[in-house]
Amino acid sequence: MNRSFLTRYAWLSLAAALATIGLKTGAYLLTGSVGLLSDALESLVNLAGAIMALVVLNIAAQPPDEEHTYGHSKAEYFSSGVEGALILLAAASIAFAAVQRLLNPRPLEAIGIGLAVSVIASLVNLGVAIVLAQAAKQHSSPALEANPQHLLTDVWTSVGVLVAVGLVALSGIGWLDPIIAIAVAVNITLAGGRILRRSALGLMDTALPAADLAALKSILDKYDKDGVKYHALRTRQSGPRRFVSLHVLVPGLWTVQRGHRLLERLEGEIRGALENVTVLTHLESLEDTASFEDQTLDREKTK
């Protein structure tokens, strides 16, 4: 499964980050708004995340080798984890800048031009986020998934900042700007926490989603009427790749050939129901008591 083409989305994200950094920094310099500064700082995180995604997607696209027989797809979780951590760092920086502005108020300048520039940057982020979100969903890429989530958070952040700056311009209440910046920091923290959680779950070999498990069990349960049982069902996901393993129990009088044909049919149905899945089955006898002693991950040693 060659996924090297996904790096083009990382390049798109990188280009968008550079563009928005320039636009938002310009908006901050024009207005002096700490809210717009918070927007610019968050775009730095977008840039770092895009660079990390580009590196990791190149690693994940490498084929399996002797040291990584299951491939390199799990590397994508490192990208989303790093981006989540960077988001939290940006949130801390924004909160610090906002508190400093509360303690040392400063009037905003050239608000109209600054807002116009920020709107353009937000539209760039929105367009790229939509493209990346569609690609992440289509190709089940954790590395790409973190980018649009953060970009969409950035868009909503920008909306809040624009509202705050507009209110300051209309009301003259300067403290609204840093207060909104603090709210932005809280929102970013929540987004970073969600991304970190998803990354940690991927690295910890979390089971497949409920919908995938339901589809899997519906296939397995069909064979019950033929006297076929199963246990020790285990699943995990590594980036786009799914892994399923289970023990299939059949009557002991079955021939090896009949059992093998059953497993081939069963594995084929699972591969037809779940994309990018690797299936490992183990055939056992229903009449052998030893078949029921290895259902746990760590089987007890025989005495």
Nearest to 33 by CA among 131, 188, 175, 146: 175
Q: Between the ranges 17-31, 89-103, 163-177, where is the mean pLDDT highest? A: 17-31
3-class secondary structure, 297: coil
User: Based on the number of CB atoms within 10 Å of its own CB, is 199 exposed (0-12), middle (13-18) or buried (19 or more)?
Assistant: buried
pLDDT of amino acid 1: 55
CB atoms within 10 A of CB 181: 28
Indicate the pTM of the whole model: 0.66
Query: Which CATH code is given to the segment(s) 210-292?
Result: 3.30.70.1350
Among 6-15, 33-42, 88-97, name the most confident range.
6-15
Quickly state the pLDDT bin for 266 (edges 50, 70, 90): very high
Residue 113 to residue 118: CA distance in whole angstroms: 9
Instruction: Please determine, for residue 110, whether its predicted confidence score (pLDDT) is greater than 60.
Output: no
Report the percent of the chain where pLDDT is more than 90: 19
3-class secondary-structure state, position 279: strand
The confidence score (pLDDT) of residue 185 equals 78
- Report the DSSP beta bridge partners of residue 231: 247
Q: Is residue 16 predicted with pLDDT exceeding 90?
A: no
Closest CA to 199 of 151, 235, 233, 150: 150
Mean pLDDT over the full length of the chain: 80
- Top CATH class, 4-203: mainly alpha
Q: How far apart are CA 300 and CA 280, in angstroms?
A: 21
Per domain, the residue ranges of the chain are 4-203, 210-292
Distance between CA atoms of residues 1 and 81, nearest Å: 24
| pLDDT value at 3 more than 70 | no
Mean pLDDT confidence for 172-191: 76
Q: Give the tens place of pLDDT for each residue, 221-234.
A: 888 877 899 999 99
